Structure 1
């Protein structure tokens, strides 16, 4: 049996999978723009990095350890819930409904961070809100990614996915600039908000919640609800896991390369995540960056990553996602390897931005690779598995990063751990059959 049947054997695509209008594509991308307030502002650069892990919460070491523990628990919940959530939205035809519900929950949890006062007794509460937000953000992302198949064809999915990633990067830049200059370091206090009692950072949470809500509205208005799969019986929540197991067994028998891609992508995506997780840490600890330098680099890095994601969309549609991913991983390995032997701000600016240039295409094409493999009516389920496998190995890059530092005795050598993870993902990806660009797997 061949891995991919001929195009004539594919089931006809439902009407919801006809090419999307320009407004639908823009509206879909705006959800990513809004979600950047949670990813970039709340969890990467501002709220957790500058506030929740600060001295007021028991010191950086203690607060970071508590945050890491709660985030690991959230990863477990994501791994358990994501595939079933995607499967049930496929069967019920309520993909947009669950995208909206989960997004609202993320916004509520984000806004609730306003009540996290700068006292150690509030640390666990703050970490819980951020971790729970991650769970519902990932569940929303399962349905959001599946919607990509509703507004694209197999010849445009690369460009549209790249456009969405670019919107996320650019949305993060705009949100960071507004937050930094209006709330964190304002020339004039807005609405009387000052740094007293952590109010400037707590106000960031309110801003982020509103940002998420406002930019999630267009996708809910512009894109029609998905259609239920009439061939799938309605099952209870716990029975969904039995159905999920059957899906995995079926994939192993009929589409083994889909499982191979899920495994390989889980590993290299963990390496991509580590670049963002530890990039700022390395910039400050090993390359002489100051706090202001990190913010400027974050903005520049997001711009470069957005350019990379946009340009990669063209090559994805022309040559396929596997070619883009392999090229991007090779570029990351080369630039990261060179950076390992250099010092100073200039070196990090040059090769750090090159890293950002390749991260965007790898992320975007990994999503289109999965999208091209997804049979009609099962997009949510497969993107749920995509989220689950990613969480299953999310410990790998941080562990090897830390072990490399301990082994070689300097923070900069942690780069080796990230490079090992990227290389392992690349090696596992090479034998995976590229998906057909003319249709999804049957």
Structure 2
């Protein structure tokens, strides 16, 4: 047991505030829509190309995350790895400024988004694995939930700045960015890069890091790979972890796919403008943030497994009528109901992984957590892309994601809650 350090907890949660700007503005509501509407030749082609880039990024993360997690466990220190991949995310996000509203910029956009997403996801492996460094096990659910909630509000704050300072601003922004070649929209990438870099700094200042064993990097790589191989070879010893990794992979992929393509879907199916999409995202982030914070206590009191099952069931119940909705008002209401369960499912998954992970193996286990999500993870964007092309309908593409929620729920029923004793 460790005494909770309020400053460290606040700094740790603030990293969620920082990195949520990337998911919210770049891969969901602003830049993704800009790519399909202004850069690609048409929205169907843009959706398919974007989905393939996300799938390629997911495959790379699946390969790299468990390896780097195991290596980090042997070097001891996680913050240098987190700093490296945070810096890479900021760099590739900055490069999106040069993506102009022309099909000739498609390759640049897809490469930068794919590489930025890889760096972003790898940073999260080390960020999530640092949860035991800031909170005792009795508070894993609350701190994880507070982090997710803070992240949603961070995404909200960044979207407000993007809306009123850039997207919906006809006058040059700060005298620098005009509406020519949609500079005001492209500048949101610079906003996200600055946001991520600035608000991630407190974590590196105040969150403790495990002391390194002073091993050369080459030795740490060899030992990390050997440990990872032994873990896979002795999978029966980690049966509950394996079951959870498989179950969570499906519902996490469904959530990630919906959030990644939600803005594209709203624009293409309901004809929402940039301003409407950003306003919708603001309200959605408020609801999702409240859900994550509200369920944080339920996680610690009743267990992560029950929290996940309730959340995934809520996502299915909200998702079916959402796909069938044809009225914009109905879409708004149902989407907000869906958003209420986003945060709790993800936050409880993080806390459950922290509870299941053996001591001194958090990096490797969260790497496997990333691997499991990405092994299935690239199927979500691919399924959406293929269904969209096959039926020439974004609605059909989004409907394919409900299957992933259902599979995740059924598999989660076979996972034992780590807070409950084995019979």
Gap change, CA 1:238 and 1:118, over 3 Å in 2? farther
2:297 to 294, 308, 314: 314
Residues of 1 paired with 2:398 and 2:350: CA distance?
Answer: 25
Stretch moving more, 258-267 or 88-97 = 88-97
Q: Which residue of 2 aligns with 1:436?
A: 419
Alignment RMSD? 2.7
Gap change, CA 1:406 and 1:39, over 3 Å in 2? closer
> Does 2:359 match 1:380?
no
Q: How much has 1:117 moved relative to structure 2? A: 3.6
After superposition, the C-alpha distances for 1:82-141 in whole angstroms (9 at most, x for unaligned) are 111111111112201111121112112211222334443332122211111111111111
Q: Equivalent residues in 2 for 1:247-286 (5 A)?
A: 247-250=231-234, 252-286=235-269
Q: How much has 1:317 moved relative to structure 2? A: 0.1
Q: Which residue of 1 aligns with 2:148?
A: 165
Residues of 2 paired with 1:59 and 1:340: CA distance?
Answer: 22
Q: Equivalent residues in 2 for 1:90-129 (5 A)?
A: 90-129=73-112
8 Å CA contact 1:336–1:415 kept in 2: the answer is no
Gap change, CA 1:400 and 1:112, over 3 Å in 2? closer
Q: 1:194 aligns to what SS in structure 2?
A: coil
List alignment gaps of at least 5 residues for structure 1: 1-16
> Does 2:194 match 1:207?
no
Stretch moving more, 121-130 or 267-276 = 121-130
Residues of 1 paired with 2:289 and 2:265: CA distance?
Answer: 22
After superposition, the C-alpha distances for 1:13-38 in whole angstroms (9 at most, x for unaligned) are xxxx7233111111111111111221
> Does 2:121 match 1:138?
yes
> Does 2:40 match 1:36?
no
Residues of 2 paired with 1:23 and 1:261: CA distance?
Answer: 31
8 Å CA contact 1:91–1:234 kept in 2: the answer is no
Normalising by structure 1, we get a TM-score of 0.87
Residues of 2 paired with 1:392 and 1:284: CA distance?
Answer: 29
Gap change, CA 1:199 and 1:340, over 3 Å in 2? closer
Count of matched residue positions in the alignment of Structure 1 and Structure 2: 421
Q: 2:288 aligns to what SS in structure 1?
A: helix
> Does 2:5 match 1:21?
yes
Gap change, CA 1:199 and 1:293, over 3 Å in 2? closer
Residues of 2 paired with 1:232 and 1:429: CA distance?
Answer: 40
8 Å CA contact 1:339–1:348 kept in 2: the answer is yes
Q: Equivalent residues in 2 for 1:180-199 (5 A)?
A: 180-186=163-169, 188-192=171-175, 193-199=177-183
Q: Which residue of 1 aligns with 2:210?
A: 226
Q: How much has 1:39 moved relative to structure 2? A: 1.2
8 Å CA contact 2:320–2:402 kept in 1: the answer is yes
Residues of 1 paired with 2:104 and 2:349: CA distance?
Answer: 41
Residues of 1 paired with 2:325 and 2:33: CA distance?
Answer: 26
1:326 to 292, 300, 309: 309
Gap change, CA 1:414 and 1:57, over 3 Å in 2? closer
Q: Which residue of 2 aligns with 1:216?
A: 200
Q: How much has 1:223 moved relative to structure 2? A: 1.1
Q: How much has 1:230 moved relative to structure 2? A: 9.3
8 Å CA contact 1:84–1:244 kept in 2: the answer is yes
Q: Which residue of 2 aligns with 1:337?
A: 320
After superposition, the C-alpha distances for 1:406-425 in whole angstroms (9 at most, x for unaligned) are 88886545454222211111
> Does 2:345 match 1:371?
no
Q: How much has 1:63 moved relative to structure 2? A: 4.3
8 Å CA contact 1:401–1:415 kept in 2: the answer is yes
Q: 2:116 aligns to what SS in structure 1?
A: helix
Q: How much has 1:284 moved relative to structure 2? A: 4.1
8 Å CA contact 1:372–1:437 kept in 2: the answer is no
Q: How much has 1:293 moved relative to structure 2? A: 2.7
> Does 2:52 match 1:69?
yes
Residues of 1 paired with 2:195 and 2:22: CA distance?
Answer: 9
Residues of 2 paired with 1:429 and 1:323: CA distance?
Answer: 9
Q: How much has 1:436 moved relative to structure 2? A: 2.4
Residues of 1 paired with 2:229 and 2:360: CA distance?
Answer: 17
